[in-house]
Chain A
Amino acid sequence: MSSTPTSRPRATPAADEALLRKALSATPRPPRASPLSATLTFGWRGMLKVKHVPEQLLDVTITPVMFLLMFTYLFGGAIADSTGEYLDYILPGILVMSVLFTTVYSGVALNTDVTKGVVDRFRSLPIWRPAPLLGSVLGDSVRYLIAGTVIIVLGVVLGYRPGAGVGGVLAALALVIVFAFALSWVFTTLGLLMRTPNAVMNAGFMGIFPLTFLSNVFVEPETLPGALEAFVNVNPISILATASRGLMEGNAEAADIAVVLATAAVLTAIFAPLTTHLYRNRS
């Protein structure tokens, strides 16, 4: 720029001078937000996003809906004796699939915050350090609830009648959400390690997709070759699906539920601190 005396373009005032002056005059600093309040505020932010960007939720819900329809009507008759019988088997599994697919989004959302720079603003605030992460993951539970509800309602429309009634369905939904909460920490870790939201999405689904198929969500493991059957039987997603079926039918085994909760605890214990560490020490 030269210092030639051309008159610099005069700004149309950004706003009323007096309003600006008043808004800028020092306001007393309030006491710090409590950890709970900061966490809930981040949860609120997550919910606003469901409202403003519903297509993100739709993206991850549409695949399980397609699978539910496709498997029930295309393969149901072949796999089970009738489509109705197969629906009874597959619906709790699709519920698991639908909610677990949604967890990938937690990592995508965190990576988006990083790439857009808003994480820098959050990290420069005087707030309880884990609040942005914990709040977001808790807010995502609302997504899980919506994703799960969509599948259950669709199932009921198609003729699914849970043996354990509403209570059983709610218990299964709760179990799946607890597991999803734990699993989402894996994806937030991924979200801080990868460079773009798309990379997180791809890597996330590259992991969760085969794991979901190599489970008992779609077929009984007894029909599989030996080695595969062994893997499917220990896959936590199988155990979660079995436990959910049990809760919805009223014949759940405590051992399955215990394994699911223990797996969730281990995932959280490893990946929640790891996410927090990566978040805190970002450069």
Chain B
Amino acid sequence: MTSSTLAIEATGLVKQFGATRAVDGVDLSVNSGSVYGVLGPNGAGKSTTIRMLATLIRPDAGSARVLGHDIVRDADAVRSAVSLTGQLASVDEDLTGRENLILLGRLLGLRRAQAKARASELLDAFGLADASGRLVKNFSGGMRRRLDIAASIVVTPELMFLDEPTTGLDPRSRNQVWDIVRALVAEGTTILLCTQYLDEADQLADRIAVIDHGKVIAEGTPGQLKSSIGLGTLHVRLLDPDQRAEAERVLARELDAVHLEADPAALSVPCGDADRAAESVAELSHAGIGIAAFSLGQPSLDEVFLALTGHTAEEQAPDQEEQAA
């Protein structure tokens, strides 16, 4: 890690809800100007961590400085420099898109005319101009999320908390949100991104903390996390999903335990040796199994998560913590 200024510096953050320790001693160091991913399944403590850093709730123990300001003693200074985009689109459903942005602009200190001009500028930039007069409750999920992000940058924040910005979005809307996030970073905003999507953290984040049961269980760049698992993985996608059982048998014989992907035509096998991988793929061919695509790559973050926690990100039952908010 470089010695550049830290946007977030948290030590031993703890938050308890009743008997559950939602956050159980989290340390974070986030460099200015970077995207820092906090990755974990539902109920891991991500939202609670963000809510503490955004001064919405007080930590029960530990301390944190956000942009140099203590989150408890100097909460108001923190609020002046950050913005929060929540898990639920935190905009007012009973107002129009334009009214939401004007409302935020006025609350942040813009004059009436400035707030109106800024609202128009953002609506244009986020592709919401046509829908600007519609009540937000009639917006699609993607439009809402874009409005939510627009509402967070009415006045450009130095640091932005993005709490699961693409949960529930279709791939097209998700990519739009990703493009906006990349543009924000290019303009110098630091972003703390909470996500349960491993590919989202992989796509956007410079560094990632993997969090589970309120604790950081691994930290590093996406590459470091992957290489800490060691092995590479052979991914194979078949032309015909019906042949997967047969392909599984062939690969298990040639290599190792096969992981069946959620995609009914896809399989993956841990494999560090490119030659052996090539031979195995040839074996599939000889067995008359049609291959649509194959690749030998670093393990996905899914596999990293499995290796770190012993369970996959999706397996864990969501607990009440995320709703406790």
A positions within 8 Å CB-CB of B:
1-6, 8-16, 19-27, 29-33, 37-38, 41, 44-45, 48-49, 52-53, 113, 116-118, 120-127, 282-283
Contact = CB atoms under 8 A, between A and B. Distances in A.
A24 B83 CA distance: 14
A121 B297 CA distance: 41
Nearest to A8: B175
Contacts of B156: 24-27, 29
Contacts of A26: 156, 187-188
B19 interface: no
A3 B92 contact: no
Interface of B: 15, 17, 51, 54-57, 76, 79-80, 82-84, 86-96, 99, 103-104, 106-111, 114, 118, 121-122, 124-127, 135, 146, 151, 153, 155-156, 171-172, 175-180, 183-184, 186-189, 197-199, 233, 235, 237, 261, 263, 266, 268, 293, 295, 297-298, 300, 302, 324-325
A126 B81 CA distance: 9
Contacts of A25: 156, 187
A33 B177 CA distance: 29
A30 B105 CA distance: 10
Contacts of B56: 120, 123-124, 282
Contact of B298 (A3, A5, A37, A122): A3
A2 B261 contact: yes
30 contacts: A3-B297, A4-B235, A5-B295, A8-B175, A12-B176, A13-B176, A14-B127, A16-B125, A20-B180, A22-B125, A23-B124, A24-B187, A26-B188, A29-B108, A30-B114, A32-B80, A41-B107, A45-B103, A48-B95, A48-B99, A116-B90, A117-B87, A117-B90, A120-B84, A121-B84, A124-B55, A124-B56, A282-B56, A283-B51, A283-B324
B90 A125 contact: no
B79 A125 contact: yes
A2 B300 contact: yes
B325 A120 contact: yes
B109 A32 contact: yes
A14 B153 contact: no
B215 to A, nearest CB: 20
A20 B92 CA distance: 23
A89 to B, nearest CB: 38
A27 to B, nearest CB: 5
Nearest to A27: B156
Nearest to A24: B187
A214 B249 CA distance: 79
A199 B80 CA distance: 35
B179 A14 contact: yes
Contacts of B126: 14-15, 20, 23
A77 B93 CA distance: 47
A22 B268 CA distance: 44
B179 A52 contact: no
Contacts of A24: 125, 153, 156, 183-184, 186-187, 189
Contacts of B268: 2
A116 B183 contact: no
A117 B124 contact: no
Which A-B residue pairs are the 10 nearest by beta carbons? A11-B175, A23-B125, A117-B88, A30-B109, A15-B127, A14-B176, A126-B80, A121-B90, A126-B79, A124-B84
Given A1-B198, A11-B172, A117 B89 contact: yes
Binding site secondary structure of chain B: mixed
B107 A127 contact: yes
B91 A121 contact: yes
Given A3-B300, A29-B109, A124-B56, 5 more contacts: A4-B295, A11-B175, A45-B92, A48-B99, A120-B84
A185 B185 CA distance: 43
A120 B88 CA distance: 10
B104 to A, nearest CB: 8
B183 A21 contact: yes
B107 A33 contact: yes
B235 A2 contact: yes
A116 B51 CA distance: 16
Given A1-B197, A3-B295, A120-B325, A27 B118 contact: yes
A139 to B, nearest CB: 12
A156 to B, nearest CB: 32
Contacts of A13: 127, 176, 179
Contacts of B199: 1, 3
A9 B84 contact: no
Contacts of B261: 2
Given A12-B172, A282-B57, A2 B180 contact: no
| Most chain B beta-carbon neighbours within 10 Å: one of A27, A44, A113 | A27
A117 B92 contact: no
Contacts of B95: 45, 48-49, 52
B80 A29 contact: yes
| Most chain A beta-carbon neighbours within 10 Å: one of B55, B95, B135, B237 | B95
B118 to A, nearest CB: 7
A29 B84 contact: no
